[in-house]
């Protein structure tokens, strides 16, 4: 028998055997015993879910906590932002994501939070910056800063601060509570401060925004009463720097062009508190107030501490 004929016979046998195996599988539904079925094998490696496969609204708080630590550990601000961009917290134009992260409080109310800053706030333990800062899109409640109507002791001594720590924070989901990082917040904690040197810090897990954190450089007293009252603006301007989101949205002490500051409580528009207190004497009368945002979102208003306004909070992870 010639070599060519041997090859043709061998090829025919291979085809015959392959056909028989195919018929076996078709009629029995059982894989060939000596050929492993890899379709459900635990030995097949799964591809890791990379950061590019999710966006802000899809991460768990545990995942965001890990991302925040990675961002905070970056040696430079540019590298921190590159990390944030890899996880789609910043878009290709270097702008913060507009997506919201929803969570449910223990009372059944659903809240959403939006990213407002990256590496903005100082951790309370002195270990550096908190990677991510969020602010709620809605008011959690409507309450007075102080039922008694005074602003002595400012934010630090306020009934609002105590209520947030003792009553509202425990309503947050356990996963989120474990991710929240206490940070230092600078505030006029005298209430009647006349000089920026009186501003001090508190360590907070939940906090109200200051006027300068939202609006940038404040000029409200100067604008209304003249330069002789500029020192009162200086006190508020020592309460922190404007968050990135509000810079991007073009918010100023007199303007909210995109309606970013318009908030609601139970689907009704609501004015909401800043933590910034002020005290002044005009025509012999003493005035003690906290600043607030108006229901329309206009950045400037002020109310007596015993009025009930919206409670919009910030937190870091």
pLDDT for position 52: 54
Other CB atoms within a 10 A radius of the CB of residue 151 amount to 25
- The DSSP output letter for 110 is E
What's the pTM value of the predicted model, to 2 decimals? 0.83
In degrees to the nearest 10, what's the CA dihedral of 314, 69, 166, 310?
A: 10
3-state secondary structure of 308: coil
Give the distance, in angstroms, between the CA of residue 196 and the centroid of all CA atoms in the same chain.
28
Q: List per-block mean pLDDT (blocks of 10 residues) for the chain, which spans 317 residues.
A: 47 47 44 43 40 84 98 97 97 96 97 98 98 98 97 97 98 98 97 90 98 98 93 96 98 97 96 93 80 98 97 98
Rg of the chain (C-alpha set): 30
3-state secondary structure of 149: coil
Q: Are the C-beta atoms of residues 115 and 137 closer than 8 Å to each other?
A: no
Give the distance, in angstroms, between the CA of residue 149 and the centroid of all CA atoms in the same chain.
31
Provide φ and ψ at 133, rounded to 5°.
-120, 130
pLDDT for position 218: 98
- The DSSP output letter for 209 is P
**Hunting for tokens 């109200």 — which residue is that?**
208
Q: Are the C-beta atoms of residues 220 and 302 closer than 8 Å to each other?
A: no
pLDDT for position 24: 45
């Amino acid at each position: 028998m010639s070599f060519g004929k041997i090859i043709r016979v061998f090829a025919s046998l291979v085809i015959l055997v392959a056909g028989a195996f195919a018929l076996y599988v078709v009629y029995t539904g059982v894989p060939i015993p000596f050929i492993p079925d890899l379709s459900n094998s635990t030995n097949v490696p799964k591809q890791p879910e990379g950061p590019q496969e999710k966006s802000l609204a899809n991460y768990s708080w545990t995942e965001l906590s890990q991302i925040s630590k990675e961002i905070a550990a970056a040696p430079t601000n540019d590298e921190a932002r590159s990390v944030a961009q890899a996880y789609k917290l910043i878009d290709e134009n270097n702008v913060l994501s507009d997506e919201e992260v929803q969570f449910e409080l223990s009372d059944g109310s659903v809240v959403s939070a939006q990213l407002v800053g990256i590496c903005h706030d100082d951790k309370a333990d002195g270990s550096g910056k908190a990677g991510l800062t969020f602010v709620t899109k809605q008011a959690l409640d409507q309450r007075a800063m102080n039922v008694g109507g005074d602003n002595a002791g400012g934010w630090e001594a306020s009934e609002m601060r105590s209520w947030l720590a003792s009553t509202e924070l425990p309503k947050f989901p356990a996963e989120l509570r474990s991710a929240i990082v206490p940070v230092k917040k600078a505030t006029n904690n005298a209430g009647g401060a006349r000089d920026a040197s009186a501003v001090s810090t508190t360590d907070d897990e939940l906090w109200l925004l200051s006027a300068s954190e939202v609006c940038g450089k404040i000029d409200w007293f100067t604008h209304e009463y003249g330069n002789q009252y500029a020192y009162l603006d200086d006190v508020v301007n020592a309460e922190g720097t404007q968050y990135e989101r509000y810079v991007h949205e073009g918010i100023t002490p007199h303007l909210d062009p995109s309606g970013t500051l318009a908030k609601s409580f139970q689907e009704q528009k609501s004015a909401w508190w800043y933590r910034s207190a002020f005290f002044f004497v005009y025509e012999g009368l003493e005035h003690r107030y906290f600043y607030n945002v108006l229901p329309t979102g206009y950045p400037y208003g002020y109310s007596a501490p015993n009025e009930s306004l919206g409670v919009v909070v910030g937190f870091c992870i």
